[in-house]
Each structure stands twice: as C-alpha cells, then as structure tokens.
Amino acid sequence: MTHQTSTAPRTTVTRHQTSDRRRGATIAILLTALVLSALPGAATARTLQVCETCRHTTIQSAVDASSSGDQIEIEPGTYNERVTIDQAGSLVLYAESGRVTVDASGYDTALEILDPDAIVALIDLTLKDADGMAGLVNLGHLTLVTVYVTGNSGDFGGILNTGSLVTHNNSVIAGNVATALGSAGGLNNFAWVDLWNTTITGNQGHEGGGFKTSGYSRVTVFSSSISLNLASSMGGGYFNSSSLALVDIKPSSSFSGNSASYCDTYYDVEQSPDCVD
C-alpha cells in the first residue's frame, strides 16, 4: 500500500489492534525510559494513529499534532514524504504491525530530528531513497529498533549524527552512498553512537565506507557486523578522523570484506596489503 503526502483531514475510526507481544514489550520499555526523561506533562500521553482512514494520513501530520510522551502508531505501507521532528520532548514512532517504509524519493532526507532536546524512538521503520543530505539526520537523542536505513544518496550517505544514537535489534545500514568528499557511506558521527546487533554493509563513501567518527566523539560497536563497505580514500570498514575520537570495537563484532583505495593501518581495520580482508 502506497501513501502519498496529504493534508486533507480524515475522520478517525476505531481500529482493531494487532497483538504483538514483542513489539508491545519493546514499546513499553522505550516509553518508560523516554517518559522518565521527558518534559512535564507526559502523564497525558496519547497514541496518534496514521492510516488511510485516520485523522492523520501522513506521518508528518501526526508528528505536528504530537506532544511530549505521545506515541505514533503507523499503518504498514509506504509513505512518500520527509518527516521532520523539531520539538523537544519524547516521541515514539512505530509500525502497527509489519513494517513502515518512508520513501524519500524527491526529498533530501527521509527523517530528520532537529531539536537537540528531542528524545525519539523509531521501531520497525525503513528509511530509504533520500537524495541530497542523508537518509536520517539526528541532532537529538535517538534510539533505533529494527530500523533499516537503505539506498540513500547524499552528502552524508545513510546517517548524519550530531546527537546521541543507539541502534538495536538487527537494525541495518546498507547500500547508502556518500557523495561529498570526507564523508562515510553508512554513518557519519560527530557525537555519540552505540551500535548493538547492527549490520552495516554495502555502503560507499570517501573517508569510511561503513562509518566515520569526527571531532570529540565516540562509537562503540557491540555484536555487530561491518562488511563489504567501500571507501574511495581510506577506511573501508571505518575511518577515525580525530585524535579526540574513540572507536571501541567489542570482540563480539566482526569486520569482513571492506575495502579502500588507499591503505593505512591506522585508518583501516583490515590489515592486509590491499586493504581487503
């Protein structure tokens, strides 16, 4: 089912909620953490629905109507839009069942969080086909649960992070291309990132095929796979551009098949002569 952007109001109807213990438990845990750190007023949290027959037929419409502590439940399908979250406070966006795809064809990013005091969780979403900036731009505090960032092309490829970012539960960053010199294909980090059970694969960039960290920043990689990424300069797997940045790769993570055009044992995880393991 494909949804086009629309601002036309629809009448809200009562809808049967699909039982899903895993999703329910995940949302409950995230909401507890988010609400505890959110702005006052979270006790009045609501669930806003997005569907063809709902009051909100686009994700952006529901975001614009939301307050701190709210949840946005989205009917599975494809939504051709750019989603902008530019208010402080906590917000959870999740697929009602199955997956929700934000198809950013015609936009420079699929989803952007612009307020540094925003506390956001995304669950079971795919962010794809942005062209210009990045598939995902985060200036706030963001948790990704089973989120796919795929097929985006722009200055910063898949993800640009200047806030805090945590990925969980088989999230995937794949097939993204960074077009700007000095950028990584999959993830560009200028602050704080924890990657848990995450796959970064098939991305292409200049400095860093998989990811790059810059400035006073940190990336910690837990039980994740970084593979088959390509850098046209250095850092097939990742590129650390700053003496102030920390990259902590836990033994449970793996690197394989990443490649770079120029070899440097400081910047490349793979140590073989041709920078391909």
Q: What structural domains does the chain harbor?
A: 21-260 (2.160.20.10)
d(CA 12, CA 18): 18
Q: Are 275 and 255 within 8 A, CB to CB?
A: no
What is the average pLDDT across 138-142? Answer: 98
**5: pLDDT strictly greater than 80:** no
| Per-residue pLDDT, 44 | 77
**Per-residue buried b or exposed e for 70-88, using 16+ beta carbons within 10 Å of the residue's own CB:** bbbbbbebbbbbbbbbebe
Ranges 114-123, 157-166, 207-216: which has the least confidence: 207-216
106: left (phi over 0), alpha (psi -120 to 50) or beta: left
Residue 24 phi, psi (nearest 5): -60, -45
> Which residue has tokens 């990704």?
144
| Per-residue pLDDT, 264 | 52
Look at residues 232, 235, 234 and name the one whose alpha carbon lies nearest to residue 200.
235
The more confident residue out of 197 and 234 is 197
Confidence of residue 197 (pLDDT cuts 50, 70, 90): very high
Average pLDDT, the chain: 85
Confidence of residue 231 (pLDDT cuts 50, 70, 90): very high
List, in order, residues 6 or more apart from 202 with CB less than 8 Å away.
174, 175, 228, 229
Strand partners, 218: 192, 246
